[in-house]
């Protein structure tokens, strides 16, 4: 008699995101009572295409639910690099704004670097400023890119053992692949980073206890490539025939993996909740010395803040 193949446990982001949002709502209420204002988030949008509008809508709604004062600054698609950087600096200087996000992608005429360098690292809640990227690289505390953070947090909160395990990250982007790899190293995994020039992707994936896929290629990872019992985190978001799918061929992978994040419903829902935790952290770190703060919140000047605010 052959045993029935067991299907992987689903690592759903929704319930974890809900739990995080409840905690954030409490922190926001405490901050608001203490400071006399809600924590503030602003999103800079340059030219509004449909995916950006949906993303923005989601962020604003998520913030409103937990009491965060969120808004956006919209620049027209033809805006210059200097005007985008100037808009970011205005938000840096606004004491009611604790976190700034620049909606990607930017129009091709604008160099990403000039914009990310304009963000005050203390308000860079999506961890794209070089200082925050450097802090992560060195293993220090800074702001993490929210998607990569969500990919690792879903493992932690699902009780998946990371230390000592073989992890393969597919994708080496500055916003997802590389930060996820550095976080896994920090969690004591042994990490391999694969990318578009990797010659034998399947050979690497087959060794992995944990596979984090962020390539933007639907169906790139199949069940046949996985080691039985592997844990799969699918960060990919692709639209195929009008449906959102990940980078993993879910139907085959779910028969081989021990746990897998669905798309949609896995990393995606967690990303926005994680971003809210970064915002409250930014707000608390930028708050000037406050004698009413409980002792758990360090009454010192924020490590990452630039000027004397």
Query: Which spans of this chain sit near ligand NAD (rule: CB under 6 A)?
Result: 147, 170-173, 175-177, 194-196, 198, 201, 214-217, 220, 235-238, 267-268, 271
Q: How far is the CB of 43 from ligand NAD (least distance, A)?
A: 15
Q: For ligand NAD, which is the closer residue by CB, 75 or 221?
A: 221
Number of Cβ within a 10 Å radius of residue 200: 9
Query: Nearer to ligand NAD by C-beta: 105 or 228?
Result: 105
36: left (phi over 0), alpha (psi -120 to 50) or beta: left
DSSP 47: S
Closer of 23 and 244 to ligand NAD (Cβ):
244
Which helix (H) or strand (E) covers residue 125, if one does? none
Cβ at position 164, least distance to ligand NAD in Å: 25
The values of phi and psi at residue 105, to 5°, are: -80, 155
**Cα–Cα distances in angstroms (integers) from residue 67 to residues 23, 26, 177, 294, 300, in the given order:** 12, 9, 31, 21, 26
Residue 9 bridge partners (DSSP): 259
Least separation in angstroms between residue 146's CB and ligand NAD is 7
With respect to ligand NAD, which residue has the nearer C-beta, 62 or 286? 62
Task: Indicate the residue among 132 and 286 with the shorter CB distance to ligand NAD.
Answer: 132
CB of 234 to ligand NAD, least distance (A): 8
- Rounded to 5°, the CA angle 36-41-44 comes to 150
Distance CA 209, CA 231 (A): 6
Locate 157 and state its tokens: 């909160």
Residue 61 CB, shortest distance to ligand NAD, in Å, is 16
CB of 270 to ligand NAD, least distance (A): 8
- The C-alpha atoms of residue 238 and residue 217 are separated, in whole angstroms, by 7
Q: Beta 40-46 vs 99-102: how paired, if at all?
A: parallel
Min dist CB 198 to ligand NAD, Å, is: 5
Report the SS3 class of residue 194: strand
**Cβ atoms 278, 139 nearer than 8 A:** no
Nearer to ligand NAD, 92 or 261 (CB): 261
Minimal distance, residue 308 CB to ligand NAD, in Å: 35
In terms of CB distance, is 215 or 304 closer to ligand NAD?
215
Task: With beta carbons less than 8 A apart as the criterion, state whether 184 and 178 touch.
Answer: no
* C-alpha to C-alpha distance for 102 and 74, rounded to whole angstroms: 10
Q: Which is nearer to ligand NAD, 142 or 177 (CB)?
A: 177
């Amino acid at each position: 008699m052959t045993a029935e193949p067991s299907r992987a446990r689903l690592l759903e982001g929704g319930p974890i995101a809900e739990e995080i949002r409840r905690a954030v709502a409490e922190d926001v209420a405490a901050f608001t009572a203490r400071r006399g204002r809600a924590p503030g988030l602003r999103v800079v949008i340059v030219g509004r295409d449909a995916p950006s509008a949906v993303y923005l809508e989601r962020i604003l709604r998520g913030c409103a639910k937990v009491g965060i004062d969120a808004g956006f600054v919209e620049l027209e698609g033809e805006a210059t690099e200097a005007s985008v950087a100037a808009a970011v600096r205005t938000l840096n200087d606004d004491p009611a704004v604790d976190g700034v996000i620049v909606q990607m992608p930017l129009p091709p005429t604008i160099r990403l670097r000039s914009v990310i360098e304009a963000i005050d690292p203390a308000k860079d809640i999506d961890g794209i400023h070089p200082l925050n990227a450097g802090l992560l690289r060195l293993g220090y505390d800074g702001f993490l890119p929210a998607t990569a953070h969500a990919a690792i947090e879903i493992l932690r909160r699902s009780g998946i053992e990371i230390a000592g395990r073989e992890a393969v990250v597919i994708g080496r982007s500055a916003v997802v692949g590389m930060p996820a790899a550095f976080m896994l190293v920090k969690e004591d995994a042994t990490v391999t980073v694969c990318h578009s020039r990797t010659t034998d992707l399947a050979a690497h994936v087959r060794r992995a206890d944990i596979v984090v896929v962020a390539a933007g290629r639907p169906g790139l990872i199949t069940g046949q490539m996985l080691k039985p019992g592997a844990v799969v985190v699918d960060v990919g978001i692709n639209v195929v025939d009008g449906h959102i799918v990940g980078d993993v061929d879910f139907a085959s992978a779910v028969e081989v993996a021990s746990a897998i994040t669905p798309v949609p419903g896995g990393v995606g829902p967690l990303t926005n909740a994680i971003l809210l935790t970064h915002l409250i952290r930014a707000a608390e770190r930028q708050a000037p010395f406050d004698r009413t703060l409980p002792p758990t919140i360090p009454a010192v000047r924020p490590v990452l803040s630039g000027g004397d605010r």
